[in-house]
Amino acid sequence: MAFALKKGWWLSVLVAVLSFSYIAYRLYQYYHQISLSDIPPLKAPIILLSLMAQTILLCINLFIETKKWQLLIGCVKKTGFIKALKMVLAGFTSGIITPAKLGEPLGRAMFLKKEFWAQTTLLTYLGGMISNLVVFALAIPCVLAIYQLPWPKFPSISPLYLFVFFGLLVILSVAWYKKQWFKKNINRFKALQTLKELFYQLASTPNNVIIRVFVYSLLRFAVYSFQLSIMFWLMGAHITGHTLMLIPIYYMLVSMAPTFFLAELGIRGSVALFIFSGIGLSATAIVLAVTALWVLNQVLPALIGIVVISQNNGVKNNNSQLPA
């Protein structure tokens, strides 16, 4: 287990080094262009309004994530909104310092009794899995459209596309309506322990909860996309349909990379340079935009989470000192 963890850390470190190296290479290529003059002059009212808009969107983002988590954890234990919000913020703190945010369930679970920790972990991963499915579902059509990969056009749909489409539709339908059967028979595959447990949790989660979690994840992705669009607009980009289609691709690639804290910043910067190099912004402006958004959406909630965790530990210590 320790060796596997070390391998995971080495992979994250390698990805971090490569990401920052790519950013340095791109900036070095255009070193004569690197200047704050790349960013258009902004008047104080515009900066203030943009900052207010980003703050409001951050609050909306946290509200949606809290409602989503409140819905998921409600399958195990009914939880109020304020407590669910504290769990979400604590999850930001424990997740940002671990590879691929694997430690996020630790922050959320510390507000519950130990008997709920295992299910809390599974529900956290289930919520993350659904969020990634939403991102992939939106990004793949954008990839096909932008990079002109094979894409069937009506009415010239080949029999192969029809066969694949209806085949996937049948498989998904059977898996959905026979999920209890899958839950029973997946026990045979010992190597898929985590996937098996996630499927167990999915099978035991009511359908209406899963659908609402998908909706919350879609809304949260819309907020993220709007925030990034605002940052690019501030940097002087013209927001077009092409730019909006690049955003899901960017988030899909970021979600696929193993990250931890500052490595995530490097990965986001390098992926952004690769994806958004054609929207009319300099490398400096692109890196600055995604960095500012990362600080706002990840670092700031993590810092607030530190306060929340400290308060929770203080309450536990006070309770433990009370006479029986």
- Write a three-state SS string for 208-242: HHHHHHHHHHHHHHHHHHHHHHHHHHHCCCCCCHH
User: What pLDDT, on the 0 to 100 scale, is given for residue 194?
Assistant: 59
* C-alpha dihedral sign at 64, 67, 70, 72: negative
Contacts of residue 251, defined as CB under 8 A and 6 or more positions apart, other chains included, come to 135, 139, 221, 224, 225
Q: Which domain holds residue 134?
A: 2-32+53-314
Given a contact cutoff of 8 angstroms between Cβ atoms, the answer to whether 75 and 209 are in contact is yes
**Residue 37 scores a pLDDT above 60:** no
Higher local confidence (pLDDT), 10 or 44 = 44
Reduced to 3 states (helix: H, G, I; strand: E, B; else coil), residue 108 is helix
Phi, then psi, of 153 in degrees rounded to 5: -115, 130
Asked if the bond preceding 159 is cis, omega within 30° of 0, the reply is: no
Compute the residue count for the chain: 324
Reduced to 3 states (helix: H, G, I; strand: E, B; else coil), residue 153 is strand
Number of domains making up the chain: 1
- Beta-carbon-side half-sphere exposure of residue 255 (alpha carbons within 13 Å): 17
Q: Side chain identity at 7, as an amino acid letter?
A: K
**Residue 26 scores a pLDDT above 90:** no
Reduced to 3 states (helix: H, G, I; strand: E, B; else coil), residue 156 is strand
> Among the listed ranges 58-67, 70-79, 109-118, 161-170, which one has the minimum average pLDDT value?
161-170
Evaluate whether residue 85 is within a structural domain: yes
Given a contact cutoff of 8 angstroms between Cβ atoms, the answer to whether 210 and 198 are in contact is no
Cβ count within 10 A of residue 233: 14
How large is the average pLDDT for residues 63-84?
93
Distance CA 275, CA 31 (A): 20
**Residue 223 scores a pLDDT above 60:** yes
Among 21, 37, 12, which residue's Cα sits nearest to residue 288? Answer: 37
Evaluate whether residue 7 is within a structural domain: yes
How large is the average pLDDT for residues 61-74?
95
Cβ count within 10 A of residue 162: 11
Cβ count within 10 A of residue 272: 25
How large is the average pLDDT for residues 300-319?
76
Evaluate whether residue 104 is within a structural domain: yes
Share of the chain above pLDDT 70, in %: 63
Evaluate whether residue 108 is within a structural domain: yes
User: What pLDDT, on the 0 to 100 scale, is given for residue 196?
Assistant: 62
User: What pLDDT, on the 0 to 100 scale, is given for residue 237?
Assistant: 87
Higher local confidence (pLDDT), 64 or 14 = 64
How large is the average pLDDT for residues 238-242?
88
> Among the listed ranges 154-158, 189-193, 210-214, which one has the minimum average pLDDT value?
154-158
Given a contact cutoff of 8 angstroms between Cβ atoms, the answer to whether 95 and 103 are in contact is yes
pLDDT band at residue 48 under the 50/70/90 scheme? confident
The tokens of 31 are what?
């070193």
Strands of 144-188, DSSP E: none
- Predicted TM-score (pTM) of the model is 0.73
Average pLDDT, the chain: 76
Evaluate whether residue 48 is within a structural domain: no
Evaluate whether residue 45 is within a structural domain: no
Strands of the chain, DSSP E: none
Most confident among 43-57, 148-162, 184-198, 210-224 (mean pLDDT): 210-224
pLDDT band at residue 218 under the 50/70/90 scheme? very high
Distance CA 232, CA 108 (A): 33
Given a contact cutoff of 8 angstroms between Cβ atoms, the answer to whether 267 and 168 are in contact is no
pLDDT band at residue 324 under the 50/70/90 scheme? very low
Given a contact cutoff of 8 angstroms between Cβ atoms, the answer to whether 256 and 6 are in contact is no
User: What pLDDT, on the 0 to 100 scale, is given for residue 245?
Assistant: 92
Among 303, 305, 237, which residue's Cα sits nearest to residue 272? Answer: 237
Evaluate whether residue 20 is within a structural domain: yes
Evaluate whether residue 102 is within a structural domain: yes
**Residue 60 scores a pLDDT above 50:** yes
